[in-house]
């Protein structure tokens, strides 16, 4: 009887958020977007090497590092990348992200740190923000002083701590902006957080003071014209420019393309043009 009840519980859906996840009464989580996992390796065509490093055994948070072929003493820009997926799906070893970041490391001549943060619903926010903040601090320590725990020779020998970029797509772009900001609705279990909360929508009313204080020198906002988040991207750029922030904000819009097209169609002309802009933004530093 108990076995039969357990089977029923495992089939009963208690929450569904399409196209991301289903939650079952048994506690099982079904992720509906699943890409092939790609192991870290040496990419023969580009010469980019990659490896996985666990930075916090207590939380099992890890990063995937990418190192392009370089001269032994070269110091390179560092790109800390946060993957998208609505805080619920995708990972640092997901095939689209591995392919994209391998190409970015090769094209930009940068050390790339791809953060594998904990995901909702098993780990509600601010876990993803906390993990990403920890990964950023670890990266800076490794590049600046070689004092990270665990130590990381790729960053100590080749990472330039004066040229650090935060990047991401979709939820990852939110993380890149917020880093360690917290709380909201389903992710936190709170029912009183609104979708115009400045942590979720940085261009919302009341966000200007925080934008004006943002400690970045330059920001590149990339928007796909047919993306359901396109309006938010444009509004973010406008809010940043109008906030009194002293940095330089650039907006690049790709008409006719949808959400994360650069991951879904990496060989397309549109994706290549966007890659050119991102590489230019990094190498101008």
Contacts of residue 39, defined as CB under 8 A and 6 or more positions apart, other chains included, come to 93
Residue 51's closest CA among 42, 59, 60? 42
Question: Cα separation of 128 and 88, whole Å?
Answer: 10
- Buried residues in 94-118 as b, exposed as e (16+ CB within 10 A): bebbbebbbbbbbbbbbbbbbbbbb
Which positions are catalytic? 170
Question: Cα separation of 229 and 214, whole Å?
Answer: 22
> Per the structure block, which two tokens stand in for 153?
């020779």
């Amino acid at each position: 009887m108990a076995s039969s009840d357990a089977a029923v519980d495992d089939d009963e859906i208690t929450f569904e958020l399409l196209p991301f996840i289903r939650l079952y009464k048994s506690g099982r989580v079904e992720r509906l977007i699943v890409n092939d996992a790609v192991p870290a390796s040496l990419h023969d065509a580009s010469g980019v090497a990659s490896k996985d490093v666990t930075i916090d055994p207590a939380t099992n948070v890890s990063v995937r590092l990418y190192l392009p072929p370089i001269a032994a003493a070269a110091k390179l820009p560092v790109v800390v990348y946060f993957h998208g997926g609505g805080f619920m799906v995708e990972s640092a070893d997901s095939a689209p992200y591995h392919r994209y970041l391998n190409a970015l490391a090769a094209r930009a001549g940068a050390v790339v740190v791809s953060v594998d943060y904990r995901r909702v619903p098993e780990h509600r926010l601010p876990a993803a923000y906390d993990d990403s903040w920890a990964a950023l601090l670890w990266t800076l320590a490794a590049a600046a002083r070689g004092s990270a725990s665990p130590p990381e020779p790729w960053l100590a020998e080749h990472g330039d701590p004066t040229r650090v970029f935060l990047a991401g797509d979709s939820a990852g772009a939110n993380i890149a902006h917020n880093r360690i900001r917290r709380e909201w609705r389903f992710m936190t279990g709170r029912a009183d957080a609104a979708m115009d909360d400045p942590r979720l929508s940085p261009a919302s009313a009341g966000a200007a003071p925080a934008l004006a204080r943002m400690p970045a020198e330059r920001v590149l906002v990339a928007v796909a014209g047919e993306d359901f988040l396109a309006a938010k991207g444009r509004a973010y750029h406008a809010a940043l420019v109008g906030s009194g922030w002293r940095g330089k904000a650039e907006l690049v819009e790709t008409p006719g393309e949808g959400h994360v097209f650069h991951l879904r169609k990496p060989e397309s002309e549109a994706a290549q043009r966007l890659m050119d802009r991102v590489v230019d933004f990094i190498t101008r530093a």
